[in-house]
Structure 1
Amino acid sequence: MPAMHIITKPLVRAATAACAALLFFGTSAQADTMTAEDFLPVEAAQARLGQLLFYDKIMSGNLNISCATCHHHDLNSADGVSLGLGEGGYGLGPDRLSGLVGNTRVAERIPRNAPALWNIGHKDRRVLFHDGRVERDASQPSGFKTPAKGQTPLGLNSIVAAQALFPPTSAAEMKGQPGDNDVADAFARSFTEGWETIAARVRSKPAYETAFRIAYPHVKSPEDITIVEIVNAIAAFEMSEWQSFDSPYDAYVNAGKPLDPLAEKGRQLFFGEAGCSSCHSGPLFTDQNFYAAGVPQFGPGRKFDGNDLPRDMGRMETTRDPADAYKFRVPSLRNVALTGPYGHNGAYTDLRDMIRHMCDPVTTRANWTPGMARLPQVPWLDKDDFTIVSLADEQERQISKLDITPVEMVEADIDALEAFLNALTGETAMQRPLGRPDRVPSGLPVD
């Protein structure tokens, strides 16, 4: 008998019979691998331009933060912390600090963990952000459903470009507060005005005009540079830069090269009795659906009309359907060993702790401590970081919504699953095609 048993806990809402069969008995089939042909095509000149824009702080309201600040090469396309410091901070990852006065003072932590960008350009990608607020939708004029609704621009080359529109619209992430700068003031009026203000900044730099002319044949003058060309270039960079499909697991699937014995045991558990592959399926190791996994919450949360607590309602924020409360998108597991902390808010720094949580969320929540998260210290934020943990009624609500029935596993099984997840790390993951540029056309410093 395998050293794992399905158990029943009275606090856990049972999933439907069909869902339970999928979640906890799983399938013996292995996930597919992928090739370069499975990615959306990218123009090399656009990717090179996107690399510059990705690292250029000209995209932020106060000219102090770039896309790369939270998705840096040195941190494997993420930022290495549970909840990052965006607008007002300086430095990278765990070493990032807040300024002390004015718009250099961080007002709040970014409420969700910065997702890694590995294989973001795969053709199967249909939904992005932890709550899925950007998704492919052929019924929309732009081809995408987004928070901008009818203001979503036409001509976007991918869901990745649609996603790239929105970090600059966030006060905590990139734009700052109205009154701080022209970008924040413009976004206070409309998405369209905010994006146009960013585009005007970019096209005012002669070096960018030249790069856009090379990347886009239709660009004949600075006025032809719009937010669409900007985010399409950023998407081209992200989609080409973060491809990774040469892991030991891929070698096993493609060439029959055996995994290490412990990783092989983990593979059998993952695709078999542990049931991991029911949600972490396909070549991306995600079904891109939404489930309530009960990851412990902390930080500022995401307040909206009907939610005034410092909590994160996940998919419900987008759909406003109570049935979606506390549900988050299943993350891809490729290169997962490189991209902790884990969970929608980075509650677990250690991969083994995340595995344990997915086995038995009830027990791990009870044993979770704030020290298991990795938060840059900001004294005026530290005091409120864990307010939600002290609210017993809210903790019960989160438990009551679980889509996971706990299973009990011995340490040997956790060892094996961890070994298999490490076998999803690409052999060349640390060797990116373009990497970090030394300088950018705005002349602003590069992190």
Structure 2
Amino acid sequence: MMVGQIPCFAFVAVVLSNAAFAGSHVPDLGPAPVFSPVDPDAAELGQLLFYDPILSGNRTVSCASCHHPRFGTGDGVSLSLGDGGQGLGPERQADPDNLPEQRIPRNAPALWNLGAAGMDVMFHDGRLEADPNYGAGIRTPLEGDMVAGFDSALSAQAMFPVLSADEMAGHYGENEISRAVRLGQLSHEGGAWDLIAGRVAAIPEYRQRFDTVLGEGAPIRFTDIGNVLAAFIRFEFRAMNSPFDRAMVGEATLSAEAAMGQGLFYGRAMCSSCHSGWLQTDNGFHAIAIPQLGPGKAARFESHARDVGRLRVTGTEEDAYRFRTPSLRNVSLTAPYGHSGAYATLEGVVRHHLDPVAGLRAYDRTQAILPVLDGASDWRVMDDPAEVTAIADANDLAPISLRDDEVAALVAFLDALTDEEAAKGRLGVPDQVPSGLPVEP
């Protein structure tokens, strides 16, 4: 189906109030999300690049390797294997001829509704966000090396996975892109982004398609690649037609169990104190004692396995172990949950929220979904009482007591946030890409 044939959802300009839904336990959610118009040619070009391994250093990993619609725009595992992995989702395995150095430190976040206005904070720690105080309008760890030309925070986020050795770039000495990254040649002329853009420009079909989007003969920059990827994500992964949405505009009725869960979500369970608004996120950062597994988020010269989240971005001690509130749209499709993917089920992560410290200390490690990686030390933090205590001490959430049937009702409400049509895909997975490299179906 072509982009231009997708109608705008009916409630784009609707503003709901408590009075309009008296008794529903739903507060005023504010204006419905606004999505910028999408150029059909840009979206279709972005679709091809999203599934094309040409953007990775060794030409083996695409964006879809960790963000595949088959797994709700995640990859179905707690912590991914990027470069050096083979296969998709829980079946992905380490390539014995190119073993990954480590797992990707954080769970692959879902992509639903990242194209909505106001969704300007990217990654679990928010290290990239729209900020008019910066020259390019986007604050990133690159600081002075950041370049102008990205049309949004969503398009700019594409620049980080391609620079990560463990995700897409590959390790030092394996290819020209990984070598440029290791030498710090990123946004410079002839650096990693130029090398990637050059690869794309050298493929006739991509050159032709960019001529349509940019104008004939216009240079293809990495910023242009990020912009068309964002156009695809904005169009393909828009999910605003769930049972919840239809109920909110009076076109459907939630099941009794889901309605009970909605009342709890916006009432006694206090879920909406963080998961607020139409997209069920405040885009803020909170410490909720999610169990830490895997290599953690450390610089190469550091030897610990902890992940202190937002603290690494701000340097502010009170931000220790805080992570961005994820949107809950299509959440039933995006397991595992938490920044480390610690919980395999919605019920598991809901119960953790009810008493995070107890959940942390009694964590069932069988909930982790980890592809085999010989030599991985996945439980260093959880095996260290001092590390566990540090996570527990940072927790923001007070315990809440719910009956088993109330937990089940909350899960039923979360299921009602699923847009089944969006999950089927609009453009879908292409059969082939212009590079001729393999596509994961």
Q: Same fold (TM over 0.5)?
A: yes
Residue of structure 1 in register with 2:100 after alignment: 106
CA deviation map 1:62-100 (0-9, x unaligned): 111000100112222110110010010010000000111
CA distance in 2, matches of 1:176, 1:430: 31
**Residue 34 to residue 305, structure 1, CA distance change in 2 (3 Å):** same
Write the mapping of 1:6-45 to structure 2, written as runs, cut at 5 A. Answer: 29=27, 31=29, 34=32, 38-45=34-41
Q: Distance in 1 between matches of 2:47 and 2:262?
A: 36
Structure 2 residue aligned with 1:325: 320
Give, in whole Å, the separation in 2 of the partners of 1:413 and 1:31: 23
Is 1:238 equivalent to 2:229 in the alignment?
no
Counterpart among 279, 293, 300 of residue 274 in structure 2: 279
- TM-score normalised by L of structure 1: 0.90
Identity of aligned residues (%): 43
Match of 1:92 among 71, 88, 91: 88
Alpha-carbon distance, 1:153 to partner: 1.8
Deviations 1:111-149, CA, capped at 9 Å, x for gaps: 100011100100111201000001000111111001221
Q: Which has the higher contact order (CA 8 A, sep 6+)?
A: 1
- 1:400 aligned partner, one-letter code: D
Kept after mapping to 2: 8 A contact 1:134/1:145: yes
Q: Verify the 8 A CA contact 1:71 1:117 in the aligned structure 2.
A: yes
User: Where does residue 397 of structure 2 map in the other structure?
Assistant: 404
1:380 is displaced (CA, Å) by 2.3
Instruction: Return the letter of the residue paired with 2:226.
Output: V
Given the alignment of the two structures, is residue 349 of structure 1 paired with residue 344 of structure 2, yes or no? yes
The equivalent of 2:249 in structure 1 is 254
CA separation in 2, counterparts of 1:262 and 1:412?
A: 9
Secondary structure, aligned partner of 1:380: coil
C-alpha contact (below 8 Å) 2:26/2:262 kept by paired residues: no
Match of 2:409 in 1: 416
Following the alignment from structure 1 to structure 2, what is the Cα–Cα distance between the partners of residues 445 and 274?
46
| CA shift in 2, pair 1:374/1:294, >3 Å | same
Aligned match for 1:133, one of 127, 136, 140 = 127
Partner Cα separation in structure 2 for residue 249 and residue 259 of structure 1 = 7
CA distance in structure 2 between the aligned counterparts of 1:68 and 1:32, rounded to whole angstroms = 33
**Match for residue 435 of structure 1 among 425, 428, 434:** 428
Runs of 4+ in 1 over 2 A off after TM superposition: 30-35, 304-308
Residue identity in the other structure for 2:431: D
Out of 144, 147, 167, which is 1:173 matched to?
Answer: 167
How big is the alpha-carbon RMSD for the aligned residues of Structure 1 and Structure 2? 1.5
| 1:368 counterpart residue number | 363
Structure 1: distance between partners of 2:237 and 2:32: 14
2:388 corresponds to: 395
Q: Distance in 1 between matches of 2:36 and 2:241?
A: 18
Give the letter for the 1:371 counterpart. T
Structure 2: distance between partners of 1:198 and 1:334: 32
Following superposition, the deviation at residue 379 of structure 1 comes to 2.5
* Structure having the larger proportion of residues in helix: 1
Q: Distance in 1 between matches of 2:381 and 2:240?
A: 39
2:5 corresponding residue in structure 1: none
Provide structure 1 residue ranges, at least 5 long, that are not aligned to the other structure: 1-26
Higher mean displacement: 300-309 or 417-426: 300-309
CA distance in 2, matches of 1:427, 1:395: 38
**TM-score computed with the length of structure 2 as normaliser:** 0.91
Deviations 1:376-404 (A, max 9, x none): 112322xx111111111111111111111
Instruction: For structure 2, list consecutive stretches of 5 or more residues without a partner in the other structure.
Output: 1-24
Structure 1: distance between partners of 2:345 and 2:295: 22
Structure 1 pair 41/256, CA: closer, same or farther in 2 (3 Å)?
A: closer
Give the letter for the 1:160 counterpart: L
**Amino acid in the other structure paired with 1:209:** R
Q: Are 1:47 and 2:43 matched, yes or no? A: yes
Q: Distance in 2 between matches of 1:73 and 1:393?
A: 39
Q: Tell me if structure 2 keeps the 8 A contact 1:82–1:345.
A: yes
